[in-house]
C-alpha cells in the first residue's frame, strides 16, 4: 500500500508552508528557471495527469468522501506519478502547480534531479461551478487566466464545459469558454477543452456517455472560438468510441472519471480508445491513476504511459506493474 507520509516527509511539507509565509515568490522564481520542452507532444501523443478536482468541491474516492481533501496524500500521489518518465506532465489548479514548482525549486537547490523540467504544465481555469451547488453549470473562470499561464511559462490551459440543453446556465459557460479560447489563441497557448453532455439526476449531474451525445457536443466544441488551431478535446470513453473520434479532426485525450479502484477497467478503456481513430492521442486522467486501489500510483502511471507511448497491450501493461511497484519510495527524502 502506498504511504504518503513515507513518500512526502514532514520536513518537505513544512518547507512548503514556510516558503508560502516567508518567501511567497519562491514558486514564481522556480517557474522562471524551469526548462520547458521544445514541442508540446514530440511523438504526437500525451499522457497527462489531471489534478484539479478539490477546487471544484470534488474530494470523494471510492467510499472515502474526503480522500482528495488530504493535501499531503494528494500531493504525494501526484509527485509519485510525476516520477514516471512515461508521464508527460500535469494539469492542475494554480495552488497545486505552485506547490509542485516549489518542491522542484527545493530539488534544484539541492542539486537533485528535478521533476518538472521538460514536462507539460497546464493550468485549470474555470473552477466556479462547484459540485452540488445550485449554479453548478454556470462555470466562470475563477482560477488562472490565459495571461497568468503565459506569465508563469506554463504550456497550456484547460477548460471544463458541461452542457445540459435544459439548463440555461450552460450558455454563460459556453461564452466564458469562447473568451478563454480566443485569449489562448492570441498567446499561442494550447487549450484543452473538456466538453461533457450532462443531465441532472437525484444524485446530481451525470455525464451522458453515448456516442451520439458525445459526438454531437464534440462538433460544437470544435467550432468554439476564433480558431481551433491550438485546441485539444478531452472526452470520456463509451461503447462505439469510433463515432466520437470521427466527429472531429482535433486531437482527443481520454478522461477517466471516478476511480474504479482497480487498474484493469481504465487500462482496457484506454487501449480501446487509442485504436478508435488516428486523432485519439492519449490520456488526461486523474483519479484512476492517483487512486488505483491497492496499486502503486507510479505503477499505474507507467502502465498507462506504456499503452499511450509504446502501444502496449493491456496484458503487457498489467504485467509491467510488478517490476515498478514500490520502487524508489525514498526519492524525495534522499535529497530533501
Domain with residue 138: its CATH number is 3.20.20.70
For residue 304, being part of any structural domain is answered with yes
For residue 332, being part of any structural domain is answered with no
CB distance 274 to 235 below 8 Å: no
User: What are 125-178's pLDDT values in tens digits?
Assistant: 999 999 999 999 999 999 999 999 999 999 999 999 999 999 999 999 999 999
For residue 115, being part of any structural domain is answered with yes
User: What are 81-135's pLDDT values in tens digits?
Assistant: 999 999 999 999 999 999 999 999 999 999 999 999 999 999 999 999 999 999 9
DSSP E strands, 113-236: 120-124, 156-163, 191-201, 204-207, 231-236
For residue 333, being part of any structural domain is answered with no
Exposure pattern of 221-232 as b/e (b: 16+ CB <10 Å)? bbebbeebebbb
For residue 335, being part of any structural domain is answered with no
CB distance 328 to 85 below 8 Å: no
For residue 141, being part of any structural domain is answered with yes
Q: What is the pLDDT of residue 261?
A: 81
Binned at pLDDT 50, 70 and 90, residue 336 comes out as confident
- Of the chain, the percentage scoring pLDDT greater than 70 comes to 100
Q: Tell whether the model's pLDDT for residue 248 goes beyond 80.
A: yes
Find where cell 512548503 sits: 16
Average pLDDT estimate for 249-275: 92
Binned at pLDDT 50, 70 and 90, residue 203 comes out as confident
Binned at pLDDT 50, 70 and 90, residue 258 comes out as confident
Q: What is the pLDDT of residue 241?
A: 97
For residue 336, being part of any structural domain is answered with no
Answer yes or no: pTM beyond 0.95.
yes
Q: Tell whether the model's pLDDT for residue 229 goes beyond 80.
A: yes
293: number of CA atoms within 13 Å, CB side? 9
CA atoms of 336 and 330, how far apart (whole Å): 10
Q: Grid coordinates representing 163?
A: 452542457
CA atoms of 152 and 123, how far apart (whole Å): 10
User: What are 272-318's pLDDT values in tens digits?
Assistant: 999 999 999 999 999 999 999 999 999 999 999 999 999 999 999 99
> Which structural domain range is residue 300 located in?
4-324
Number of folded domains in the chain?
A: 1
Q: What is the pLDDT of residue 95?
A: 98
For residue 186, being part of any structural domain is answered with yes
- Of the chain, the percentage scoring pLDDT greater than 90 comes to 93
How far are the Cα atoms of 53, 68, 293 from residue 300, in angstroms, in the given order?
A: 19, 18, 10
| CA proximity to 194, closest of 245, 232, 237, 167 | 232
Binned at pLDDT 50, 70 and 90, residue 74 comes out as very high
Q: What is the pLDDT of residue 289?
A: 96
How far are the Cα atoms of 125, 190, 331 from residue 233, in angstroms, in the given order?
A: 15, 11, 34
Amino acid at each position: 500500500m502506498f504511504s504518503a507520509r513515507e513518500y512526502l516527509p514532514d520536513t518537505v511539507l513544512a518547507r512548503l508552508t514556510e516558503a508560502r509565509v516567508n518567501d511567497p515568490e519562491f514558486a514564481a522564481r522556480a517557474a522562471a528557471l524551469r526548462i520547458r520542452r521544445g514541442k508540446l507532444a514530440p511523438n504526437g501523443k500525451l499522457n497527462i495527469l489531471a489534478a484539479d478536482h478539490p477546487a471544484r468541491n470534488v474530494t470523494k474516492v471510492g467510499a472515502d468522501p474526503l480522500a482528495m481533501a488530504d493535501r499531503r496524500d494528494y500531493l504525494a500521489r501526484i509527485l509519485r506519478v510525476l516520477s514516471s518518465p512515461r508521464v508527460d506532465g500535469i494539469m492542475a489548479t494554480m495552488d497545486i502547480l505552485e506547490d509542485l514548482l516549489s518542491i522542484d525549486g527545493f530539488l534544484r537547490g539541492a542539486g537533485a534531479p528535478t521533476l518538472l523540467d521538460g514536462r507539460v504544465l497546464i493550468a485549470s481555469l474555470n473552477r466556479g461551478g462547484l459540485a452540488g451547488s445550485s449554479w453548478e453549470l454556470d462555470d466562470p473562470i475563477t482560477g488562472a487566466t490565459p495571461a497568468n499561464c503565459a506569465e508563469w511559462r506554463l504550456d497550456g490551459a484547460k477548460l471544463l464545459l458541461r452542457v445540459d440543453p435544459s439548463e440555461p446556465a450552460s450558455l454563460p459557460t459556453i461564452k466564458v469558454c469562447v473568451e478563454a479560447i480566443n485569449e489562448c489563441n492570441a498567446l499561442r497557448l494550447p487549450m484543452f477543452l473538456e466538453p461533457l453532455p450532462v443531465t441532472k439526476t437525484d444524485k446530481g449531474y451525470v455525464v451522458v456517455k453515448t456516442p451520439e451525445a458525445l459526438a454531437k457536443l464534440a462538433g460544437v466544441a470544435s467550432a468554439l472560438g476564433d480558431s481551433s488551431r491550438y485546441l485539444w478535446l478531452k472526452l470520456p470513453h463509451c461503447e462505439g468510441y469510433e463515432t466520437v473520434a470521427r466527429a472531429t479532426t482535433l486531437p482527443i485525450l481520454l478522461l477517466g472519471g471516478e476511480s474504479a479502484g482497480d487498474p484493469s477497467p481504465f487500462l482496457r478503456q484506454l487501449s480501446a480508445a487509442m485504436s478508435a481513430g488516428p486523432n485519439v492521442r492519449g490520456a488526461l486522467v486523474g483519479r484512476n491513476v492517483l487512486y488505483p486501489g491497492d496499486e502503486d500510483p507510479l505503477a499505474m502511471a507507467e502502465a498507462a504511459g506504456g499503452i499511450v507511448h509504446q502501444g502496449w497491450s493491456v496484458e503487457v501493461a498489467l504485467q509491467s506493474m510488478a517490476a515498478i511497484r514500490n520502487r524508489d519510495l525514498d526519492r524525495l527524502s534522499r535529497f530533501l
